[in-house]
Structure 1
Amino acid sequence: MKTKFWLLPLIVALTLLSACGDEDNTEGSSEEITEDDLDVLEVEFDVPETADVDETIEMEAFVTYGEEAVEDADEVVFEVWEVGNEEDSEMMDSENHGDGTYTAETVFEQDGVYEMYAHTTARTMHTMPKKSVTVGEGAPVDQENADGDGDAEENEFHADGFGMHFVQPDEVNAGEDTELIVYLQMDEEEFEGADVRYEIWNYEVSDQHEWIDAEESESGEYIATHEFPEDGTYYIQIHVEDDDGLHEHEEHEVIINE
């Protein structure tokens, strides 16, 4: 009886110690991963601040993920336009140098202020840092005024800090589901929580415009699926709004095969 009397407190004590140990392990594991530990896709975008007319300049993007140089980015595309004419932007594929560096060259044929994005997709993330170059004498007076006051709905200029990149779909066939993807940024950060809709039409097929709501699949990435009924050239207007009164839009063409 005396042996049993001493065994019971010993078993209780060991049970309590084991429970405390499990709590400590649980608390420790919950603190192992924090937001600071998550790697981020970053791009160092380098272009000269000024250039001469007809001078060839190099655009360089150095892509990293955490502390690792990204040598196999899914996409690095440079988009260049003259301030006030963003709808006439030019897209240029980059050369991959195999060390995280991606470059392309461009020439400016007249004075003005030009802006550019380095659209970069890698590690399931997208970012698009923005730079500007003053060429020759810079922007004429009418160009400077064009980027000032005015109705954004009329001139279709984007608000300061806002960026939009529509992923042009390849080899789209009629009658098949097609993903429509757009990336949004505000002040070079992913633009979250926006209300994004795709307006689609082709007057040779129908006089009606179709409206499709996009869903934010990842931070700043908005996706919708659409089936184009017939072949031909369709127009897609992307509408972006938020609760603070932002309303941006951008139009694109998509060629649909039979």
Structure 2
Amino acid sequence: MGRRILILIVALTMAVLAACNNDNDTDQSQESEELKMLEVDFEVVDKADVGETVELNAIVTYGDEKVKDADEVTFEYWKQGNEEDSTKIEANNNEDGTYTAQVSFDSDGVYEMYAHTTARDLHTMPKKSITIGDGASSNHEDEHQHDGETHEHSGHGEGLDMHFIKPENTKVNEEVKLTVNLQMKDEPFEGARVRYEIVNDNSDIHDWVDADETVSGEYTNSYSFAKEGMYKIVIHVENDEGLHEHTEHQIEVNK
């Protein structure tokens, strides 16, 4: 009897130790997965001539792994101070973790650009700039006004980029997604409070919509416009450190 009890105790001890080891392995695996980040090394030359072909190159990694099957890599570029008039071009997947496209610019100026990248259920959008020809005026200000829209910087959000994905062909009573991507010094800006203020002065519509952070640095919600006309969308961004930034955009809603 004593021998059987001893064998039983040893077997139970070994089972407990094995379970603990499995738990530790699972915890370590989970921790390793959590430590992985989606990284994009966005390469572009600093200067080029008008009409010169420029290669845009995004090197995408997830931890130590080269991402050869990203869901999206799209380059978006615009002349500084005129982000609403941007051009998007889908990158070519070279199937080795690099994604490239070739572009050229038809006038002098400073151009800014994003590499919109989605992979492994994460999104990031590193930003670069390039000077074409003689570049832009040296007295470029922090506050830009164009097409009736003003981008203001409160001083608390230095280095904060707000990129609003403007819905197209918006119709009355059709739900559309309102999405803004936030980055602080080329990193996704997480944990912010984001609200969309929706105003139509002609119909006294003034709504507020809270956005959810669906992926890191991306804030979205849906909205249905009840009447046609021009709407002002004011995006308010706040956090617990006293940041309060906002930017305005215009959307036309048709029947």
Change (3 A) 1:106 1:179: same
243-252 vs 65-74, which moves further? 65-74
1:77 to 62, 75, 90: 75
Change (3 A) 1:41 1:170: farther
CA distance in 2, matches of 1:101, 1:256: 35
Q: Which ranges in structure 2 are unaligned for 5 or more consecutive residues?
A: 144-148
Change (3 A) 1:249 1:105: same
The equivalent of 1:222 in structure 2 is 219
TM-score, length of structure 1 as denominator length: 0.78
Question: Which digits, 9 at most, give the CA deviation of each residue in 1:6-41, with x for residues without a partner?
Answer: 433433333333323322332232222324675533
Q: Does 1:256 align with 2:253?
A: yes
The equivalent of 1:169 in structure 2 is 167
Which has the greater radius of gyration?
1
The equivalent of 1:56 in structure 2 is 52
Matches within 5 A, 1:164-243: 164-204=162-202, 206-243=203-240
Q: Residue 113 of structure 1 contacts residue 138 of structure 1 at CA under 8 Å; is this kept in 2?
A: yes
Number of matched pairs: 243
Q: Does 1:120 align with 2:117?
A: yes
Query: What is the CA-CA distance between 1:108 and the residue it aligns to?
Result: 4.7
Cα RMSD, aligned residues only: 2.9
Change (3 A) 1:173 1:14: same
Q: Residue 48 of structure 1 contacts residue 57 of structure 1 at CA under 8 Å; is this kept in 2?
A: no
Same amino acid, percent of matched pairs = 36
Question: Which digits, 9 at most, give the CA deviation of each residue in 1:72-115, with x for residues without a partner?
Answer: 53350312222xx24554232234255342314131523x4333
Give 3-state SS (helix, strand or coil) of 2:29's partner: coil
Q: Residue 150 of structure 2 contacts residue 248 of structure 2 at CA under 8 Å; is this kept in 1?
A: no
CA distance in 2, matches of 1:135, 1:157: 26
CA distance in 1, matches of 2:124, 2:218: 10
CA distance in 2, matches of 1:32, 1:240: 35
CA distance in 1, matches of 2:18, 2:220: 46
The equivalent of 1:107 in structure 2 is 105
Q: Does 1:25 align with 2:22?
A: yes
Give 3-state SS (helix, strand or coil) of 1:56's partner: coil
The equivalent of 1:151 in structure 2 is none
Give 3-state SS (helix, strand or coil) of 1:16's partner: helix
Q: Residue 94 of structure 1 contacts residue 104 of structure 1 at CA under 8 Å; is this kept in 2?
A: no
Q: Residue 43 of structure 1 contacts residue 61 of structure 1 at CA under 8 Å; is this kept in 2?
A: no
CA distance in 2, matches of 1:97, 1:7: 64
CA distance in 2, matches of 1:122, 1:171: 27
CA distance in 2, matches of 1:172, 1:38: 40
Greater fraction helix? 1
Q: Residue 77 of structure 2 contacts residue 114 of structure 2 at CA under 8 Å; is this kept in 1?
A: yes
Change (3 A) 1:11 1:202: same
CA distance in 2, matches of 1:23, 1:71: 36
TM-score, length of structure 2 as denominator length: 0.79
Query: What is the CA-CA distance between 1:51 and the residue it aligns to?
Result: 2.4
The equivalent of 2:89 in structure 1 is 93
Q: Residue 152 of structure 2 contacts residue 247 of structure 2 at CA under 8 Å; is this kept in 1?
A: no
CA distance in 1, matches of 2:116, 2:25: 39
